[in-house]
Amino acid sequence: MKEIRIAPSILAWDLGNLDRAVRISLEGGADQVHLDVIDGHFAPNITFGPGTVKALRKKCDLKFDTHLMIDSPHLYVDKFLEAGSDLLTFHAEVLDGSHFDDLYHTVHAKGKEVGLAIKPKTELPEWAEGRLDKVSTLVVMTVNPGFSGQSMDMSVMPKLQKLSSLVSEKGLSTDIEVDGGIEPENVEEVVKRGGNVLVAGAGVFGKEDPVKAISVLRERALQVNP
Ligand code: DX5
Ligand code: ZN
């Protein structure tokens, strides 16, 4: 079984005080910080860009998991690398094999990781299946991109199971990150289907004690995948 990792999504915190969100992630023992970049085209919200990532980079040395929900990632990949992202996740919906290869080379040349995300209704494209060995993290979205605080779309569960099995059949160690609506109550459903990186916005920052919420999620996950 793969290592459980908890990734608080700071989009769910006060966007005027992201400094605190990063500090909470550190105090709670999070494994990585999930940074949702949305351009108002790919998804109906506008969040923050490389400048914010760079400013937060100075505050902590946790792994920065940057989820690019943008139409033209090739225009910004260098900026996010310079800003200090460690894992850059691109959406399969805006790529094809050759675009992916270009992005992969750019990210790899800097010694950083590439993630590939799919929306709830998207199946993994064929070009992506053949390139899974280049993907450190497969991000299975369980809400439509745009906003924190939505409930998990449970109809994604069979796909999550199928993709986890595909990764193990190929003998790969690709992390399976689940993004959207994670709460203590549904952690078991996700982890038993092979999810090992748990993104949580409202499930951490919407709680009265967000520092503790990180360990609550981890404990739940470890009950299924010790
Ligand atoms: C949605 C983002 C998610 C979201 C997670 O567009 O990709 O990362 O912020 O927040 P919760 O856990 O509240 O669904
Ligand atoms: Zn996200």
Q: For the chain, 226 residues long, give each residue's pLDDT as a single digit of tens.
A: 799 999 999 999 999 999 999 999 999 999 999 999 999 999 999 999 999 999 999 999 999 999 999 999 999 999 999 999 999 999 999 999 999 999 999 999 999 999 999 999 999 999 999 999 999 999 999 999 999 999 999 999 999 999 999 999 999 999 999 999 999 999 999 999 999 999 999 999 999 999 999 999 999 999 999 8
Among 195, 204, 183, 202, residue whose Cα is nearest residue 224: 195
- What b/e sequence results for 91-108 when a residue is b if at least 16 CB atoms lie within 10 Å of its CB, and e otherwise? bbebbeeeebeebbebbe
Q: Is the CB of 34 under 6 A from ligand 1?
A: yes
Q: How far is the CA of 47 from the centre of ligand 2 (A)?
A: 11
pLDDT for residue 1: 75
**pLDDT tens digits, one per residue of 152-202:** 999 999 999 999 999 999 999 999 999 999 999 999 999 999 999 999 999
Question: Is there a contact between 2 and 175 (Cβ–Cβ < 8 Å)?
Answer: yes
Entry pTM: 0.98
Q: Residue 146 — left, alpha, or beta (φ > 0 → left; ψ -120 to 50 → alpha)? A: left
Q: Contacts from 211-219 at CB under 8 Å and sequence distance 24+?
A: 211/24, 211/27, 211/28, 212/28, 213/28, 214/6, 214/8, 214/24, 214/25, 214/28, 214/29, 214/30, 215/28, 215/29, 216/184, 217/6, 217/182, 217/184, 217/187, 218/4, 218/6, 218/29
> Which atom in ligand 1 lies closest to the alpha carbon of residue 34?
8
- Sorted by sequence, the CB contacts under 8 Å of residue 208 that are 6+ apart come out as none
In DSSP terms, 34 is beta-bridged to 9, 65
Which of 18, 179, 190, 207 most suits a substitution to test ligand 1, by most atoms within 8 Å of the C-beta?
179
Calpha distance 125→80 (Å, rounded): 25
> Which atom in ligand 1 lies closest to the alpha carbon of residue 145?
6
Calpha distance 163→60 (Å, rounded): 32
> Which atom in ligand 1 lies closest to the alpha carbon of residue 142?
14
Ligand nearest to the Cα of 42, by number: 1
Which residues are tagged catalytic? 36, 179
Q: How far is the CA of 200 from the centre of ligand 1 (A)?
A: 7
